[in-house]
């Protein structure tokens, strides 16, 4: 799912009381979480407090971003879906991404290799991986992938919810899998040493693309279809096939974890633990599909979310269960300390620190190093 990050992040930390305690823990040297590389493999960087046209992050947004403890987020360069001018839309959005990063050189670092993530951790900066959630902007011109890598795009998602020239997305009823062009696109992605992402793919597309891929790949944000039979979730067999190729599957904090579209913390935990059993502790991570900062559901934000949801429904890219009043998050974890609380909840269930370090970032760091070097 994709939403304007300013809308999603609106309100931020206004209702939180945990921040002072977090600051005290960091001042005391912190625990394993503060030492670890924390990766959200599908999220977003944003500032709900500064003016719309301000590229420099406000001090408040920066302080709250640091407070999350996240080291790196994978942010999405648009477009998604079959729009009129996908390459033109891409060029506009990648320029915006660059301008934000360049306006915050002391705070934000663009990732091109795994070493950049380690550098960001050392220098107390926030690392951003730029990736697509579609190949609509590539189409049949595969040399565009070469340009996109030069632009700093490091992950490429093959399809979004509907079909494109490469294959069928998760909502495409024909479910015919990947095309000849899709196979050529995967070969180009791998030859450019970009990371292939199969999130949002149709069931057959994900299975065929995983079988065709030669290098480690990811499904950056999904859930277990065995637990919740929803088209945005992934079957055990495909997740296991991704793991068998050295890849990683990320769990999202999204409504699709439960058929009534209102999951709770225990639903996230259930999906994580099931998927960990399927793929093994070395092949699971998190890709929340949220902003890094939380959302305050005030009336203004709800109105914007309603407008955004109706637009998705009109465009035919809304997944089953998306509706007005269904928010793209797990409300139990809608706080600046959500990553910490999520890890703590798993620790209470017997997850060791070593296992949690893999889940919270170590596994994605490994597959990033496999893809990009460093």
Which residue in this structure is represented by tokens 């609106």? 10
pLDDT confidence of residue 30: 62
pLDDT in tens, 109-142: 999 999 999 999 999 999 999 999 999 999 999 9
Longest dimension (CA), the chain: 56
Per-residue pLDDT for 20 more than 50?
no
Fold topology of 5-372:
TIM Barrel (3.20.20)
What ranges do the domains of the chain cover?
Answer: 5-372
Which residue in this structure is represented by tokens 């479910």? 175
pLDDT confidence of residue 336: 95
Per-residue pLDDT for 28 more than 70?
no
Give the torsion sign (CA, 81, 84, 88, 89). negative
- Counting residues of the chain whose pLDDT is more than 70, the rounded percentage is 92
pLDDT confidence of residue 278: 98
Residue 110 belongs to what H/E stretch? strand 108-110
pLDDT confidence of residue 297: 87
Per-residue pLDDT for 29 more than 60?
no
Per-residue pLDDT for 39 more than 50?
yes
Count of other CB atoms within 10 angstroms of residue 44: 23
* Residue/partner pairs of 58-67 with CB below 8 Å, 24 or more apart: 60/12, 60/13, 61/9, 61/12, 61/293, 62/107, 64/12, 64/13, 64/19, 64/293, 64/336, 65/126, 65/292, 65/293, 66/124, 66/126, 67/13, 67/19, 67/22, 67/23, 67/336, 67/337
β-strands 108-110, 284-286 pairing: unpaired
Per-residue pLDDT for 26 more than 80?
no
Per-residue pLDDT for 94 more than 50?
yes
Better pLDDT: 92 or 27? 92
pLDDT in tens, 269-312: 999 999 999 999 999 999 999 989 998 888 988 999 999 999 99
pLDDT confidence of residue 46: 87
Per-residue pLDDT for 18 more than 80?
no
Q: Are 265 and 330 in contact (CB under 8 A)?
A: yes
Q: Are 109 and 123 in contact (CB under 8 A)?
A: yes
CA distance 157 to 169: 11
């Amino acid at each position: 799912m994709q939403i304007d990050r300013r809308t999603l992040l609106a309100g931020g930390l206004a209702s939180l009381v945990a921040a002072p305690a977090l600051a005290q823990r960091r001042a005391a040297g912190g625990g394993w979480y503060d030492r670890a590389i924390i990766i959200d493999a599908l999220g977003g960087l944003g500032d709900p407090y500064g003016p719309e046209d301000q590229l420099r992050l406000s001090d408040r947004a920066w302080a709250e971003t640091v407070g999350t403890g996240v080291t790196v987020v994978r942010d999405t360069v648009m477009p998604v879906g079959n729009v009129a001018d996908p390459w033109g839309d891409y060029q506009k959005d990648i320029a915006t991404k660059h301008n934000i990063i360049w306006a915050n050189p002391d705070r934000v670092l663009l990732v091109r290799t795994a070493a950049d993530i380690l550098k960001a951790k050392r220098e107390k900066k926030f690392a951003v991986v730029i990736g697509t959630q579609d190949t609509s902007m590539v189409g049949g011109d595969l040399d565009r992938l070469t340009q996109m890598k030069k632009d700093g795009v490091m992950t490429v998602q093959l399809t979004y919810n509907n079909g494109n020239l490469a294959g069928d997305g998760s909502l495409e009823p024909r479910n015919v899998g990947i095309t000849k062009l899709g196979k050529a696109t995967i070969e180009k992605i791998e030859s450019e040493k970009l990371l292939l992402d199969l999130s949002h793919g149709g069931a057959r597309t994900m299975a065929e693309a995983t079988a065709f891929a030669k290098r480690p790949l990811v499904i950056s944000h999904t859930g277990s279809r065995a637990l919740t039979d929803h088209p945005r979730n992934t079957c055990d067999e495909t997740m296991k096939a991704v793991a068998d190729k050295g890849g990683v599957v990320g769990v999202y904090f999204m409504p699709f974890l439960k058929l009534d579209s209102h999951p709770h913390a225990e639903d996230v935990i259930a999906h994580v633990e099931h998927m960990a059993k399927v793929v093994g502790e070395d092949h699971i991570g998190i890709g929340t599909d949220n902003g890094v900062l939380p959302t305050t559901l005030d009336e203004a934000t709800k109105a914007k979310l309603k407008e955004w949801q109706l637009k998705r429904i009109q465009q035919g890219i809304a997944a089953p269960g998306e509706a007005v009043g269904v928010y793209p998050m797990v409300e139990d974890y809608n706080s600046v300390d959500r990553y910490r609380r999520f890890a703590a909840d798993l620790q209470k269930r017997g997850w060791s620190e070593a296992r949690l370090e893999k889940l919270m970032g170590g596994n994605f760091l490994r597959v990033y190093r496999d893809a990009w070097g460093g």
